[in-house]
Amino acid sequence: MTDKTEDMIDRYLEAVAAQLPVEERDDIIAELKDLILSRVEAREEETGRSLTDDEREAILKEIGHPLVVAARYRKGPDSLIGPELFPYWLYGAKAGLLILGAVFALGLVIRLIGGSANFGQDIAQAFHGFFGAGLTLIGSLTVAGAVMEHYAIRPKWLTDWRVKDLGAFGLSDPSTWGMAAKSAGERMQAQASTKPLRVRPLRMRQTNVVGDAAFTFIATGMFALWWVGAVHFPGIGVMALDGETARLSPAPIWTALFVPILAYALAQMGVAIFTVLQPQAVRMRAVLTLLVAGFGLWLTWTIFQAGDWFILSAGTDSARIAGDLALLDFDLVRTLGDGPRDVAGIASTLSIVGTWVLAFMGLSLVWSAVTSLGRLFRSSPE
């Protein structure tokens, strides 16, 4: 065996050793070296001469690339996300990307309605933000899946599932979103008419509850990530105003309520997860929803009482965006968009919109609390 042969083999073994656990490295390398040397000696006996560099390298290639060879000796999974977890990863990625797409599309529409002077730039920023947030989402899902794969973590919901809980998986189907929107519109029309609503079967109601809860979890999760700064949505808080860039600056109330708002989002996610896992536990869900709705009402009232919410500024001009009970006037709503397109006019419009949004949020939370109380006194599940 020549020094040149030993050199080539040693370089190969060093590359393999670098990928192995330290505590097992010496034994594996000794075993692998014996295998390589025996193959080289057998080939030299066949040819009756020393092997050339190309022939020696061909033997090493037959054994395999150092990364592949080291993987054969490594304990644990052979893939980042295995075939058992991959379908769940794919569902999370599809559903999350659909929600992100809806969020960025809504933001783009709002900016265009606000009188954007650069349509192409707004679209480019929306796409840029979507791809950045999408990569963050996929990266987070991949890290979570890799940890579960490496440590063989298998949550109970992977194996202990029931057919009636499968409604949530429609979130990854774009057509489901369209059907849900159509169904919501039909329900609103039915409520506005004098015809009684048809009672839905028990299974359909449970499926809808699980689907709504899954959507709430993903959407609220995206908000929580944005709230703590883990996900960024470029263009939020910036609009074009008469060829000038106008910016929204948050008032101190948002800093004061940073932790309560994050706690509220996490509480909503907790209730949503519980609903997905235990849709039949109607009364417990009602208790949890009632508590979260009460917390949400307190937050909504605190934000409304703060008065100042944002400062809109463009150049040297600035104006407050604030709430007031006097803004809850239908005549003001009918005149939205008719005011001046300066900083003061836009701030006034946003103040009206913000006040009405908070009012609807409050009414929605009151309705959630009332329906939860109703479920507490019903003996039959949904």
For 7-29, how does the pLDDT look when each residue is reduced to its tens digit (9 = 90+)? 888 899 999 998 888 888 899 99
pLDDT digits (tens, 9 = 90+) for 287-329: 998 999 999 999 999 998 887 888 888 777 888 888 888 888 7
Same structural domain, 262 and 301: yes
Same structural domain, 146 and 219: no
Mean pLDDT of 165-188: 53
Out of 46, 72, 98, a domain closes at: 72
Residue 110: CA count within 13 A, CB half-sphere: 15
Mean pLDDT of 185-213: 50
pLDDT digits (tens, 9 = 90+) for 202-225: 444 444 566 667 777 777 887 888
Same structural domain, 349 and 306: yes
Same structural domain, 227 and 371: yes
CA distance to 12, 87, 373, per residue, from 19 (Å): 12, 29, 59
The reply to whether 194 falls in a domain is no
Out of 24, 41, 72, a domain closes at: 72
Same structural domain, 283 and 217: yes
- pTM equals 0.50
Residue 238 makes CB contacts below 8 A (sequence gap 6+) with 245, 246, 247, 248
Q: State the total domains in the chain.
A: 3
CA angle in degrees (0–180, nearest 5) for 265-269-275: 145
Same structural domain, 32 and 95: no
User: Which residue range(s) make up the domain with 348?
Assistant: 208-381
The reply to whether 230 falls in a domain is yes
